[in-house]
Structure 1
Amino acid sequence: MKNNRRNFLKIAGITGIGVAGAVVLNGLVNAKDSGNETEPSSQVGSTDESKLSIIGLYGPWAYSLIENKIPAFSFRNDKWQNVERWREAAKQRLLEKLAIPDIGGVPKVTVKKQYKYDGLHIEELSWQLPYGRPTEAILLKPENASGPLPAILAFHDHGANKYMGKTKITRTSDKRHPVIESHQKEYYDDLAWANEIAKRGYVVLVSDAFLFASRRVLLEDVPAKLRKGLNDKNPEDPNNIKAYNTWAGEHEHTMAKSLFCAGTTWPGVFLAEDQKALDVLCARPDVDASRVGCGGLSGGGIRTVFMGGVDPRIKCAVCMGFMTNWKDLILDKSYTHTWMTYVPGTPNDMDFPEILGLRAPLPTMVLNNIDDGLFTLSEMKASDTVLAAVYKKAGAEKNYKCSFHPGPHKFDKKMQDEAFDWFDKWLKT
């Protein structure tokens, strides 16, 4: 039981617990550990947990709202035969639901520092958006590289760690913060994957996402009644980082509701800020803007789904460890995910994998882990079936690939090699 509890909490920690909160999840695990778990009164005597939903008796009804229906803007729907007309209409529909805020043009970039490390030329960058503190970013490319190179917009994960961002997938010196060292060992085979793909001949840009690292909500910027006695002092202390991340996970409810009330969505803000990062990357003279890809694990996978689906400048997309469907989220797994996933009303228009499928026939790869506790394996496979059908109907079957790797939630060396080879295939030829 102890191992089950540890694994469950680790899974919960990956995503930030956007709905129920860690306290509720701890309670659920403790109930199972103690053998005192109770069942709904109308389900007494039932021992088949596979028939229970995370929203109780309301699960089957909620799922019935979309069950066995081909959504209106799905390319699988018989009313759509021309891929270009479908993409234009479906993308416009998604953009309406995303309610992406206007955050201005290409931001002015400041180069804070340049140096060499790990065989790479590294630049520490920043730019100011119309709100919040400056966005910080790390750019990497091969040392002494010449001529415009293909480029990758690399997305860091969520990892229940909003204190950190770009540093989760980069390495700029031999010394790593212990939190980052542990993170990279657990999820990336102790590799900084942005560095590894840069070495293959790419310009790689990693920026802090909305609400992470340089873009995080500081405690001093919210009312004292919301701080729970915490402050921003001694920020590098691992205990303070842990306390901040717990607070930030619980604050997701407030942020999501406030964004909805402002007439936008969390994925809409993500996309707006990521497109500014893409603007910065494509404007560089050392980048061939016709050969740009994007990818990321987990929370980075969410960002890949939306960026890859919406922005045609992304010529190759690799989604790692974040592919499922609305059924999975309705009945089984929404509690394991952050508020950053959801766009109200979209399930009536397209299934979740079809957001990424909006990029068809452009090259797309999805990498899954068989034992990923964030998703149900059957629904990861069902999502593959949906994307394969979209690409087949678009006449681009060879431009889509999905793989299932053994193990839990991760982007390990073997998966990295497969992803990087896919980028090479489409961005270097």
Structure 2
Amino acid sequence: MLRIFEEYFGIHNKPDAHNPQWAYDILNSYDFEFQKNVLEKLQSLLYLKLDLCFVEKNKKESFYEAFTEEIVTANLNGIESEAAFLKPSNSSPPYPVVVVLHDHGGFYYYGKERIFMDDSTQPFIREYREKFYSSKRWALDLLERGFAVFCPDAFYFGKRRFPQELIKIFVDNKTYEQLTSLTEGSYEFIKLFNRISSELEEIIFKNINFYGTNWPSILINEDIAWLNYLLKREDVDKSRIACMGFSLGGFRTLFLSALKKEIKASLVIAFMSEFSKMLGQTSRHTFMVHIPSFTRFLDLPDIAGLILPRKLFVMQCSEDSLFPVDAMKSAVAKIEEYYSRAGCRHNFSYKFYPNPHQFNSYMQKDAFDYLFLNIQK
């Protein structure tokens, strides 16, 4: 049983008895005392290894008029995952790259595909984009502006989705037989797979804790490993790397940008609040963002304080039912205070949009304009 879970959760995600304080490796690279205090507190909450790197196994290229789609399959200590690297036809390497960390949305079967895949034969992706993205394959707009786009699958999504051999352990025989009787990739299969994955989040959260780690550590370690892979590529302009993410992708962007200084500009979209102010009805987020004991020592704006003096744009949805408005406002006020204290207030931006939890066309335009001004020029 342990072997099956090790192969899925990853042997590198447990605390390392020989190097329990990973933050000491990067403390001296931070400029301000409050950043060092945040790192020292964070090191006891997350089990990270900043030198992890996915090793490319193979890649498959598909050529389109406006871009080349490269699907990279890679290995990390026995874990196999995928990322998409989209290269624009209107520019040449080394490319400025936007790392896009995808969202949750209850859509587990696909990860990276939601931002770029042709949805003409994929009803689930089409419905998803209608709800969250103004029906747009918005990665293509980034390509039109000359950016390359790199989007990896997150743990529990896409090629890192929950494997059927583990599903069989947790669901009843009738449900498992129903799933395996359907054609994988069909509308009915994806619908049932998404429902099962959603229902199992709670018990997977418990099993991750029994295993000896926490869910955010797994997510962030794999994002770190993918970024380190990207940094080894010769077709990437290392001086022009940005990171962005909506919802769960915003949470992932926040932590990856805080820990990896190679990211020059960051956009956290619809995921900035003070967790300590979310007791009550808004405390219904995915289990994936819960770091045990986090709010005893830190909060999300403190993590944002690790990004400065680099550029950060926080995009908030004022009608977002997942966060209290006062907690969103106090979060950006706290980040603003950090940037002001460090003498780089001009590098922090935020804006509230009059809409629910989504990354719509108005937000997309502002985000892409911001990226063009800060890493493309």
- TM-score by structure 1 length? 0.76
SS at match of 2:279: helix
Q: 1:95 to 1:227 in 2, by over 3 A?
A: farther
Q: How does 1:149-188 map to 2 (within 5 A)?
A: 149-171=95-117, 173=118, 175-188=120-133
Deviations 1:156-175 (A, max 9, x none): 1101111111111113x473
Deviations 1:352-407 (A, max 9, x none): 22212211111101111111111111211111111111111111111111111111
Q: 1:403 to 1:104 in 2, by over 3 A?
A: closer
SS at match of 2:244: strand
Counterparts of 1:378 and 1:282, CA distance in 2: 38
Match of 2:218 in 1: 269
Q: How many residues align?
A: 344
Contact 1:267/1:306 (8 A) holds in 2: no
Match for 2:129: what amino acid? Q
Q: Which stretch has the larger CA shift, 354-363 or 398-407?
A: 354-363
Percent identity, aligned pairs only, is: 30
Q: How does 1:71-110 map to 2 (within 5 A)?
A: 83-100=31-48, 102=49, 105-110=52-57
SS at match of 2:234: coil
Contact 1:121/1:144 (8 A) holds in 2: no
Q: Is 2:354 the counterpart of 1:406?
A: yes
Deviation at 1:423, TM superposition (A): 1.6
Counterparts of 2:69 and 2:160, CA distance in 1: 21
Match for 2:343: what amino acid? G
Counterparts of 2:140 and 2:85, CA distance in 1: 10
Contact 2:83/2:150 (8 A) holds in 1: yes
Q: 1:147 to 1:219 in 2, by over 3 A?
A: closer
Larger RCO, structure (CA 8 Å, separation 6 or more): 1
Contact 2:90/2:144 (8 A) holds in 1: no
Match for 1:253: what amino acid? E
Counterparts of 1:118 and 1:95, CA distance in 2: 46
Counterparts of 2:151 and 2:226, CA distance in 1: 8
Deviations 1:299-325 (A, max 9, x none): 111111211222212111101111111
> Which ranges in structure 2 are unaligned for 5 or more consecutive residues?
1-29
Contact 1:104/1:130 (8 A) holds in 2: no
Match of 2:344 in 1: 396
Deviation at 1:224, TM superposition (A): 4.3
Counterparts of 1:224 and 1:124, CA distance in 2: 31
Contact 1:111/1:123 (8 A) holds in 2: no
Which residue of 59, 69, 80 maps to 1:112?
59
Deviation at 1:346, TM superposition (A): 2.1
Which residue of 229, 234, 238 maps to 1:289?
238
Match for 1:264: what amino acid? T
Deviations 1:114-142 (A, max 9, x none): 1222511211111022244x211211121
Q: 1:382 to 1:225 in 2, by over 3 A?
A: closer
SS at match of 2:213: coil
Match of 1:123 in 2: 70
Larger Rg: 1
Match of 1:203 in 2: 148
Alpha carbon RMSD of aligned pairs, Å?
Answer: 2.0
Q: 1:157 to 1:105 in 2, by over 3 A?
A: closer
Counterparts of 1:246 and 1:286, CA distance in 2: 39
Deviation at 1:85, TM superposition (A): 2.8
Q: Is 2:353 the counterpart of 1:386?
A: no
Match for 1:151: what amino acid? V
Contact 2:86/2:149 (8 A) holds in 1: yes
Which residue of 257, 261, 265 maps to 2:206?
257
Which residue of 78, 84, 96 maps to 1:138?
84
Counterparts of 1:161 and 1:97, CA distance in 2: 28
Deviation at 1:275, TM superposition (A): 0.9
Deviations 1:316-345 (A, max 9, x none): 11011111112332233112x101111122
> Which ranges in structure 1 are unaligned for 5 or more consecutive residues?
1-81
Match for 1:345: what amino acid? S
Contact 1:83/1:394 (8 A) holds in 2: no
